[in-house]
Amino acid sequence: MASLMDELLLTMDGEREQYEKLISLNGEKKDSIIHKKLDVLEAITAQEQAIADSLLELEKRRGDLLRSIAAVMGHDGEQITVSWMIDNLSNQPVEREQLITARGKLIEAADSVQVLNFQTQNLLKQALEMVEFDITLLKSIKQAPQTSNYGRDAVTTGDLLGRSGFDAKQ
Residue 24 lies in a domain: yes
Residue 93 lies in a domain: yes
Residue 158 lies in a domain: no
Q: What is the pLDDT of residues 38-89, one digit of tens each?
A: 899 999 999 999 999 999 999 999 999 988 888 888 887 777 889 888 888 8
Rounded Cα distance, 165 and 141, in Å? 9
The better pLDDT of the pair 79, 128 is held by: 128
Residue 144 scores a pLDDT above 60: no
The total of structural domains in the chain comes to 1
Residue 150 lies in a domain: no
Q: Which domain holds residue 138?
A: 2-142
Residue 52 lies in a domain: yes
Fill in the DSSP letter of residue 147.
P
Residue 161 lies in a domain: no
Residue 66 lies in a domain: yes
Residue 138 lies in a domain: yes
Question: Which residue in 106, 81, 85 sits closest to 96, CA to CA?
Answer: 85
Read off the CATH number of the domain in which 96 is found: 1.20.58
What confidence tier does 14 reach under pLDDT thresholds 50, 70, 90? very high
